[in-house]
Structure 1
Amino acid sequence: MKVSKKVSGVEYAIRDIVSAAKDLEKQGRTIDYLNIGDPAQYGFHPPENVKQAFIDAIKKDQNYYSASEGIQELRSAIAKKENLKGFSIGADDVLVTNGVSEGLDMVMSSIVEEGDEVLLPGPYYPPYASYIRLHGGIPIEFSVDLEHSTPDIADIKSKITPKTVAICLISPNNPTGAVFEEDSLKKLIDVANENNLYIICDEIYDQIVFDKKFVGIGKVAGDSPVIILNGFSKVHLMSGWRIGYIAFNSSPQLASIREHLPKLARVRISTNHPVQYAALESLRGPQEYISEFVSELKKHRDLVVKRLNSMPGISCSNPKGAFYVFPKIENNPFKSDKEFVLNLLKSKGVLAVHGSGFGTKYGSGYFRLVFLPNMEKLNSALDKIEDFVSSYKP
């Protein structure tokens, strides 16, 4: 039977690689999963007041369809949060989604037509390329200096064509942990404005930064056509509850998409209603749990980077945010980074993600590790990785 050719371009290496681990588990092997950036799977959970808000909403029978754009109180709270980062928006500029992934799909389906090009930071989070391809577009990677967390502006300019419709940013970045600073964001805004392009900025890790205060794109956006993607899975530890949002900057250039994109929200009816009250509580309630979470993650980051850089044949830049490291495989004895990852899995039972799954141009030759597990588990997994890279002959 016929299958749409568009589906063939859909990939998600982070979950696709899991099947190999599950096969080993069926043989009785124990696997260290360092592949998925899900805080809740590693013991980081929403605080009790947030859980209770979810429960209370259910008990109050708030189990019906919400407004397609999301409940007004949550949209107002989200606008307030984004305004603290530099925007000047209201509840009507926010649309609540079933996670960032749905928001990304809505945005791409609203701006991408057959043959259109979208610029992505290389390496990039896989769903960006998949949704671009699904809607007939072509993802184009641009270079980022991982050591200094700076986008290559000259490279971006060289890759803009008449078919380019948008520049995507992910800051802090998945998979690299790069965090763009104010000067870089301003330059990107200028390039987008000069070429009449959308700026789509994913800031879902906005409070998970380790060395400097995070600067959101709202601080330099002015009235540029900036669309924010954000959510509650990472900072607010609500990954399995699937809630995110789109926020539109106050820009006259966004008038058309603001009119038409909400039609997609109506077609899919609404976001999970009771969880919106949990998200509201996570914004209004005590925030200490976030700083505690980030403080703990910084210890994990420091440990992992130090240990990886001490291993033969491995070099690792220092991530400025999120909870991933993206080490480079020096003198890889295997045919590819994916073969490296699969051999590490088979030999030591440690599941990482191959770097080429985040874009072949800038991701090949690397692999991604999540540093969310506790220190004991991290050290154990790192011992196995060290043993693995010390045993093969480059």
Structure 2
Amino acid sequence: MKVSKKVAGVEYAIRDIVLAARKVQQKGMQVDYLNIGDPVQFGFQPPDNVKQALINAINNGENYYSTSEGLLELRQEIAKKENAKGLSISADEILVTNGVSEGLDMVISSIVEEGDEVLLPGPYYPPYASYVRLHGGIPVEFAVDLDNSTPDIDDIKSKITSKTVAICLISPNNPTGVVFNEKSLRELVDIANQHNLYIICDEIYDQIVFDEKFVGIGKVAGDSPVIVLNGFSKVHLMSGWRIGYIAFNNSPKLDAIRENLPKLARVRIATSLPVQHAALESLRGPQDYISNFVSEIKKRRDLVVKRLNEMPGLSCPNPKGSFYAFPKIENDRFGTDKEFVTKLLESKGVLTVHGSGFGEQYGSGHFRLVYLPNLETLDSAMNKIEEFVSQ
């Protein structure tokens, strides 16, 4: 039976690679899963007050459809959060979604038509390219300096064509941990304004930064056509509850998408109402658990980056945010990056993700791993990787 070519082109390397890990496990080998960036799977849980808010909502009968835009009180709190980062918006500019992925799908489907081009930071989080292709568009990677956390402005300018409709940013970045500074963000907004492009900025890791203060794009957005994607999976440790949001900057250029995109929210009905109450509590309640979480993650980052850079044939930039390392494979004796990842899995039982799964142009020759497990587990996994590259 027929399958659309659009769906056939969808890829998600982070989860696709798990199929190979299952085969290894079936042979009796223990696998260290360093492929999925889910802090909850590694022992970090939402605070008790947030879990209780979910339970209370269920017990209080909040089990019906919410409004399609999302719970008003939640949207008001989200607007406060985004305004503290620089935007100047109300609850009316917020739309609650089933995770950032649904928000991304809604945004891309609202702006991309057959043959349109969308600029993505190389390397990029795989759903960006998949959704662009799904809706008939063409993903175009632009270069990013991973050591200095800066986008290549000249490269971006050279890749803008009459078919370009948007520039996507992910800061802090998945898979590289790059965090763009204020100067870079301002340059990107200026380019978008000059060429009448949307700026779609994913800030889901906005509070998971280690060495410098995070600057949100809201600080430099002005009245530019900026759309922010964010959610509760990472910072707020609510990954399995699937809740995110779209925030539209207060820009006249966004009037048409502000009017039309919510139709997609109505078609899919709503986001889980009990989970929205939990998200509301996560914003209103104590926030000290976030700094504790980030402090623990920083220790893990420091261990992993140090160990990787001591290994022969590997080099790893220091991630400034998120919880991923993106080491470069300095020689090709292992074959492609996918072959490297597969051989590492089969010989040592360490599951990472091939860098080309995050974009062929700038991801190839790298691999990604998460540093969420405890220090003992990470140290053991580093020993196995070191044995592998030293053999």
Equivalence map 1:341-360=2 (5 Å): 341-360=341-360
Q: How does 1:43-54 map to 2 (within 5 A)?
A: 43-54=43-54
Q: In the TM superposition, what is the alpha-carbon distance from 1:358 to its structure 2 partner?
A: 0.1
Q: Separation in 1 of the partners of 2:332 and 2:15?
A: 23
Helix, strand or coil for the counterpart of 1:108? Answer: helix
Equivalent AA in structure 2 for residue 320 of structure 1: K
Q: Give, in whole Å, the separation in 1 of the partners of 2:6 and 2:354.
A: 23
The one-letter amino acid of 1:100's match is V
Could you tell me how far apart the structure 1 residues matched to 2:104 and 2:83 are?
A: 21
* Residue 28 of structure 1, CA deviation: 1.6
SS in 2 for 1:166: strand
2:6 equivalent to 1:25: no
Please give the secondary structure, in 2, of the residue aligned with 1:257: helix
CA distance in 2, matches of 1:291, 1:355: 29
Which residue is 1:74 aligned to? 74
Question: What is the distance in 2 between the residues matched to 1:19 and 1:333?
Answer: 25
Query: 2 CA distance for matches of 1:228 and 1:242?
Result: 17
Q: What is the CA RMSD across the aligned residues, in angstroms?
A: 0.4
Q: CA deviation at 1:117?
A: 0.1
2-structure distance, mates of 1:27, 1:273: 43
| Residue deviations 1:252-294 (CA, integer Å, cap 9, x gap) | 0000000000000000000011000000000000000000000
1:191 and 1:343 map into 2 onto residues whose CA distance is: 42
Inter-partner Cα distance in structure 1 for 2:301 and 2:31: 21
- Give the structure 2 partner of residue 161 of structure 1: 161
Q: Aligned residue for 1:299? A: 299
Q: Distance in 1 between matches of 2:220 and 2:242?
A: 29
Aligned partner of 2:204 in structure 1 is 204
Other-structure match for 2:93: 93
* Alpha-carbon separation, structure 2, partners of 1:216 and 1:114: 31
- Identify the residue that residue 337 of structure 2 maps to in structure 1: 337
Residue in structure 1 matched with residue 40 of structure 2 by the alignment: 40
CA distance in 2, matches of 1:216, 1:371: 24
SS of structure 2 residue aligned to 1:119: strand
Cross-structure match for 2:275: 275
Match of residue 105 from structure 1: 105
- Write the deviation string for residues 299-356 of structure 1: whole angstroms up to 9, x where unpaired: 1111100000000000000000000000000112122100000000000000000000
TM-score (norm 1): 0.99
User: What are the equivalent positions in structure 2 for 1:109-258 lying under 5 Å apart?
Assistant: 109-258=109-258
Structure 2: where are the runs of 5+ without partners? none
Shift of 1:73: 0.3
Distance 1:347 1:24 in 2: 9
SS of 2:136's partner is: coil
Equivalent-residue separation in structure 2 for 1:272 and 1:9 (angstroms): 30
Q: Deviations over 1:149-172 (max 9, x none)?
A: 000000000000000000000000
User: Using the alignment, how far apart are the partners of 1:45 and 1:390 within structure 2?
Assistant: 37
In 2, the alpha carbon distance for the partners of 1:332 and 1:47 equals 45
Report the TM-score when normalising by structure 2.
1.00
Secondary structure, counterpart of 1:102 in structure 2: helix
Number of residue pairs the alignment of both structures matches = 391
Determine the C-alpha separation between the residues in 1 that align with 2:84 and 2:364: 37
Q: Distance in 2 between matches of 1:234 and 1:200?
A: 19
Secondary structure of 1:376's partner?
A: helix
1:118 is paired with a residue whose SS is strand
The secondary structure found in structure 2 opposite 1:274 is: helix
Task: Report the secondary structure of 1:88's partner residue.
Answer: coil
For residue 273 of structure 2, what is the amino acid of its counterpart?
A: H
2:169 is paired with a residue of what secondary structure? strand
The CA distance in 2 between the partners of 1:155 and 1:27, in whole Å, is: 46
Find out whether 1:6 has 2:45 as its counterpart: no
Offset from partner CA, 1:126-176 (integer Å, 9 cap, x none):
000000000000000000000000000000000000000000000000000
Matched residue SS, 1:53? helix
Deviation at 1:26, TM superposition (A): 1.5
Give structure 1 regions of 4+ aligned residues with deviation exceeding 6 angstroms.
none
Amino acid at match of 1:94: I
What percent identity do the matched residue pairs reach? 78
Secondary structure of 1:332 counterpart: coil
User: What SS class does the counterpart of residue 261 from structure 2 fall into?
Assistant: helix
Q: C-alpha separation between the residues in 1 aligned to 2:332 and 2:244?
A: 39
Moved more, 24-33 or 359-368: 24-33
Residue in 1 that maps onto 2:321: 321
Deviation per CA, 1:213-251: give whole Å up to 9, x if none: 000000000000000000000000000000000000000
User: Quick one: distance in 2 between partners of 1:366 and 1:238?
Assistant: 29
Letter in 1 for 2:215: V
